[in-house]
Structure 1
């Protein structure tokens, strides 16, 4: 009987061990808005890394950032929260922090030393009341200038413009060569990032911060801001009639094919160049502004972790936060996404020349400028975006646009 008992005990132990080895993977439902070719290839890097770490990634892509954020918030409010949801590294999710609807990931942040390895502007966005409420996954610069090497050659442009006036002269050359000078998707957010690119370069960091950070109405009424609006509107002469309503990646496709000369877009556009097998420095060029001291707008994406008491869901959230910010996943993701890694301690040898330039610039704190969404709440951002879209698409005077901007700043 003794031997029989021993056998039964050993069988039970073996079954228990096998069960543990085949424990259900930690399921994670992840809402995001990355649906273009380059974006899908990038998010797959995180999914693969999470699955390898013992998770089961359940992908919930929702086309359009606004729609994806709304879906996430509706599910959180409706009691059916996803495990994680994408937001921009901004004030977009601070309302739901204040309502107590997110879990923090403080222990992951402490273990991985986030305080030391992430830039200050990013930490400011993801940390509230001393707690980390999001895992940042990339640094994007929304105001890169991408250009087609063949289009520049056709127009006789031999070097990148060093000033805004040189840039306008190059657009004239492209127009004369029969190329669409500026590929723009006429959507409100694209018009706004084009404006911000001009604002940072033409207006300079001091004026930019007075307007967005300090919400200084006198700065908006200044001649310097009037000049920014005037220079922005000049670009309208260089877009094609097909611009209104065009998606950003369709505008990138015009540059990829050489039908257009330049696109002002976030570095996520590089994902589309990569997907089309184009190489930075060979098929297309990139510059982050005019001259060696141009401001570098800092933006990005982060995943928040909705409130839950389910211990497995909490484990999944912590595993996601750990995996998404890990060095290997960061490099693999950035290579496909066009962003630069959130961490400063990675090996950038496999990244392209534009990413390497971005990484080098991020080491110079004097060039870092937070993007407007880090400085102003979403309702003010929305009001200012409406002002810029109105000014771009209508025959409105610069003075009227200044007044509208000043009033949007106070909304």
Structure 2
């Protein structure tokens, strides 16, 4: 088993400001390796950069992130006309992991890839360690097997309830919940007022993870971060009381308060449904703030993390090994490798990186000083990150080392939980199915 290395977040001092800043110092060179510089005796106008091309792959389920990355690619190629970048962004509602595996199977694995399942592809020999001359861009990126495989695009930010202030006012809701039971009481008030309490983009399987992991973090991971490794060792079970409670809460919420069309609603439809007044709330991440503001600049909304039954707040917030990775095949070509490294430096240069961060309301991962104006909603997220009383955790599939789950289990589990709601199934019976499938996949991966 691989050892898991955790690092501490370095953004705690951000919470009391209205400007998002990642502190430190670093070389702000966006022009590539010094070996590409012209000879001191050769006029720069006489040196032409060699034409080079590479492919880039990234998840595009979230429109704001897709736009932010696509805009960066466009700016980079305009500034570097000798470089051609072929965009291979995932465009279907399929899981990103499955999309990458398909690309690999047909010989189209990206040269530069947004990597989320790092250990899976590192173990398969598909990606290489982050080049040493890029490591200094970051404070202390997470390691897998003692190695850094990614240029982290941002620090994991909390997810929570994005709510219509008008809907809350119309329903007579004046105080935000201090416990989960108070949150449920709010759902009842919204429902009674005649508005659908929650919109969910269940058509996209990744979106299911927002709610599923809210409950798993509250009842499982906030109390036992090593639960996955214990499940692999069969010392805990999905049928244990804590998991059953988490999935019972999930089922009850979806059955009573989620828009009935959730399974056919895409993630990219949720912002418009919220601002149109068809639903009062959306549970999602900070990247949605810009999308909502663009959908209706006059729409007033707030953001908060849902407390658990004891009144404790537990959120996504630990660092995880994810970000830009170079493929094993790409680094066989020295010119391609240098072009990719130039792109990574360009991506994280403060003037460009700040635009990317602002577009998706993200927390910077670099040492270099990066600032952008933050919104009222983003400030709440920063306060959550800075609060030592808020427990930081990860989603079921974002752990690594001994806590890595079988790579296909996440999608299978989310689909199982969709069926649980649609069939009004017995939670314990469905968790027995989860145990069986988990063990089957663990065994298959060991063969």
Q: Which residue of 1 aligns with 2:177?
A: 161
Alignment of 1:3-402 (within 5 A): 17-20=44-47, 22-24=48-50, 27-34=53-60, 37-48=63-74, 50-51=76-77, 54=80, 55-64=83-92, 66=94, 69-70=97-98, 72-76=100-104, 78-88=106-116, 92-112=117-137, 114=138, 116-118=139-141, 123=142, 127-141=143-157, 143-187=159-203, 188-202=205-219, 205-207=222-224, 209=225, 211-215=227-231, 218=236, 220-235=238-253, 236-278=255-297, 283-290=300-307, 293-298=312-317, 302-307=323-328, 308=330, 309-343=332-366, 346-363=369-386, 367-375=391-399, 376-402=405-431
Q: CA RMSD in A?
A: 3.2
Retained in 2: the 8 A contact 1:255–1:261?
yes
The alpha carbon displacement at 1:205 in A equals: 0.7
Q: 1:348 to 1:166 in 2, by over 3 A?
A: farther
Retained in 2: the 8 A contact 1:31–1:85?
yes
Q: 1:242 to 1:382 in 2, by over 3 A?
A: closer
Q: How far apart, CA to CA, are the structure 1 residues paired with 2:384 and 2:367?
A: 12
How many pairs are equivalent?
Answer: 383
**Aligned with 2:187: secondary structure?**
helix
The alpha carbon displacement at 1:157 in A equals: 1.0
Retained in 2: the 8 A contact 1:183–1:239?
yes
Task: Give the structure with the higher percent helix.
Answer: 1
Runs (5+) with no aligned partner, structure 2? 1-39, 400-404, 441-447
Q: How far apart, CA to CA, are the structure 1 residues paired with 2:109 and 2:433?
A: 38
**Aligned with 1:160: secondary structure?**
coil
For residues 180-200 of structure 1, the C-alpha deviation after alignment (integer angstroms, 9 at most, x for no partner) is 111112334333321211232
Q: How far apart, CA to CA, are the structure 2 residues paired with 1:283 and 1:36?
A: 21
Retained in 1: the 8 A contact 2:274–2:280?
yes
Matched, 1:403 2:419: no
The alpha carbon displacement at 1:202 in A equals: 4.9
**Aligned with 2:273: secondary structure?**
helix
Q: How far apart, CA to CA, are the structure 2 residues paired with 1:108 and 1:15?
A: 26
Retained in 1: the 8 A contact 2:353–2:370?
no
Retained in 2: the 8 A contact 1:84–1:305?
yes
Q: How far apart, CA to CA, are the structure 2 residues paired with 1:190 and 1:67?
A: 10
**Aligned with 1:214: secondary structure?**
helix
**Aligned with 2:291: secondary structure?**
helix
Runs (5+) with no aligned partner, structure 1? 1-12
For residues 28-85 of structure 1, the C-alpha deviation after alignment (integer angstroms, 9 at most, x for no partner) is 4212232654234322443255346635544333313746555544554555553312
Q: TM-score, normalised by structure 2?
A: 0.75
Q: 1:272 to 1:19 in 2, by over 3 A?
A: same
Q: How far apart, CA to CA, are the structure 1 residues paired with 2:228 and 2:115?
A: 20
For residues 159-198 of structure 1, the C-alpha deviation after alignment (integer angstroms, 9 at most, x for no partner) is 2222111111111111111111111123343333212112
Q: 1:402 to 1:255 in 2, by over 3 A?
A: same
Q: 1:409 to 1:186 in 2, by over 3 A?
A: same
Q: How far apart, CA to CA, are the structure 1 residues paired with 2:200 and 2:268?
A: 10
For residues 339-395 of structure 1, the C-alpha deviation after alignment (integer angstroms, 9 at most, x for no partner) is 322237645551223333333433457622122112223123233223322222212
**Aligned with 1:341: secondary structure?**
coil
Q: 1:257 to 1:25 in 2, by over 3 A?
A: farther
Q: 1:159 to 1:327 in 2, by over 3 A?
A: farther
The alpha carbon displacement at 1:210 in A equals: 5.1
Q: 1:149 to 1:345 in 2, by over 3 A?
A: farther
Q: Relative contact order: is structure 1 or structure 2 higher (C-alpha 8 Å, sep ≥ 6)?
A: 2
Q: How far apart, CA to CA, are the structure 2 residues paired with 1:117 and 1:360?
A: 22
Retained in 1: the 8 A contact 2:220–2:227?
no
Q: TM-score, normalised by structure 1?
A: 0.81
Retained in 2: the 8 A contact 1:183–1:252?
no
Q: How far apart, CA to CA, are the structure 2 residues paired with 1:70 and 1:313?
A: 26
Q: 1:254 to 1:75 in 2, by over 3 A?
A: closer
